[in-house]
Chains A and B, each alone.
Chain A
Amino acid sequence: MKLKSSFYFYLLGIPLFLFLFVIIFLTSYLIAHGIPVLSLRFLFSYPEKQMTAGGIFPVIFGSFYLTILAFIFSLIPSLFSGIYFAYYAQDNFLTFALKTLIKSLSGMPAIVFGLFGLALFVRIFKLGLSLLASSLTLSLLTIPYLITTTEEALLSVPHTFYEAAIALGIPKWTVIRKIILPEAKPLLLSGVFLAFARLIGEVAPILFTGVAFYLKTISFSPLEKFMALPYHIYILATQHEKILKVRPIAFASSLVLLFFALTFGVGAYILRMKIKKYY
């Protein structure tokens, strides 16, 4: 009887191991096909001969520029909202409504953000197809996520520090600025890293707000179109004339994208582990 029960139990583990196997297989497959094309030249040079040779520097540049800009736009709204919900909002219906609306935003498909960005930033704000329009659209995507992580980070700071400071007659905003926020920094940063990891792989919101496949030069002007890694991979894989010839480049680009996404993901994880234990 005992043997049978354990047997069934380990049977339960098969789906998990199958899943893990697929993950590892997928990753190895990508690495195997992508590594041969990867090189420092690849990372730092421009594409040549209609993308069939050369590197992907402008693509990497575009992705980073886009993501950083999206962050800059989303930082203040998210931070203030997070602080509000953690320390100022009362436990009433208004707060519940606000939070529910923000939560529903966080579950929205990215492409719906794309439509909204098209309507609002490209057309009504007349920004046209541009890095600015795309990064603004992306920032809308980031905001609900950052609000949640900010709130969590702030609430993770032991309440007793807050109480001690208030009991000293220190103004609330000063306590938040000088005691709570500094303590919450590792978790706050972790949230930022995770958001970065997600953002760098997003395509749907930028599809019709400004991304392009082939631009001759990189530009620092946010009013121009731009290139981005995940979109690049998509086009190389599905719509290029010489699909098979550029496939290795698609693999290599995938590895680069994966590398960036995972680096930030792992960075976030390490930061979370660094949380000091209070006794």
Chain B
Amino acid sequence: MKIKIRFENFSLWFGERQILKNINMEIPEKKVTAIMGPSGCGKTTLLRSINRMNDLLPNVKTSGKVFIDEENIYEEKQDLLALRKKVGMVFQKPNPFPKSIYENIAFGLKIHKFKNIKERVIKALVDANLYEEVKDILNQNALTLSGGQQQRLCLARAIAIEPEIILLDEPASALDPIATAKLEELIQKLKKDYTIVIVTHNMQQAARISDYCAFMYLGEVIEFGKTEDIFVRPKDKRTEDFLLGKYG
């Protein structure tokens, strides 16, 4: 099993507060890895460390390394634009651009100088299980779509530029159960071609869709392993307590 992402003694501070404490973790390639834990444990921060989106916030300090394909992305010389092309992200609340459905996907393609834009847009929509629903309204404003459709559009937008990793930050938290089910189905389909890391506070969701699971608590990764192992035989008491619903 090949390792795609590797955290090595990685820590992160917002000003004086330490959010991530000495993370050591290996995320396998082309599997779904879920990061779960109670509110405020740092899961979103951990996720955003993979595409260095935390850099956008003020007063961020890091130490340690994060390797993607054995290259440390926290090196000084790292090309952030190339990194973010390689690592796609879908946010908690759907955020398509205020443009047409077509333009949403075409925009990224044009900037990254892809050819055959039209075909790629359609392929992305097909891969995101969205094409059938929007094929006649490609020129319509993306904000008119339903929440679930917008989220799949955001996914299409991300996969259009051929990333290798897809990060999902609680992507279904704003969606109704049917839209959520559709999204989860999509994720299962995508893991054949992409390494997927998903943050969720919904244990059942983690159990449903992930192959590997990391349990985080107060900025540390307490346990990591195959999902069945974590859920059936948790090694740490804190993990067990979380799974039993003792804290949310």
Contact = CB atoms under 8 A, between A and B. Distances in A.
| A–B interface present (Cβ within 8 A) | yes
A90 B56 CA distance: 11
B85 A169 contact: yes
B186 interface: no
Interface in A156-175: 158, 160-161, 163-171, 174
- Contact size class for A? 20 to 34
Contacts of A160: 91, 93, 95
A168 B154 CA distance: 10
B158 interface: yes
A183 B98 contact: yes
Contact of B161 (A90, A91, A169): A169
B102 to A, nearest CB: 15
Interface in B67-105: 80-86, 88-89, 91, 93, 95-98
Interface string A206-239: 0000000000000000000000000000000000
A174 B111 contact: yes
Q: Chain B binding site: helix, strand, loop or mixed by DSSP?
A: helix
- Contact size class for B? 20 to 34
B14 to A, nearest CB: 13
Contact of A91 (B58, B85, B86, B157): B58
Given A163-B91, A164-B97, A90 B58 contact: yes
Given A164-B91, A167-B88, A179-B97, 7 more contacts: A158-B95, A161-B97, A163-B91, A164-B154, A167-B91, A169-B81, A178-B107
8 contacts: A158-B95, A166-B84, A167-B53, A167-B91, A168-B158, A169-B83, A170-B108, A183-B98
Interface of B: 51, 53, 56, 58, 80-86, 88-89, 91, 93, 95-98, 107-108, 111-112, 143, 154, 157-158, 161
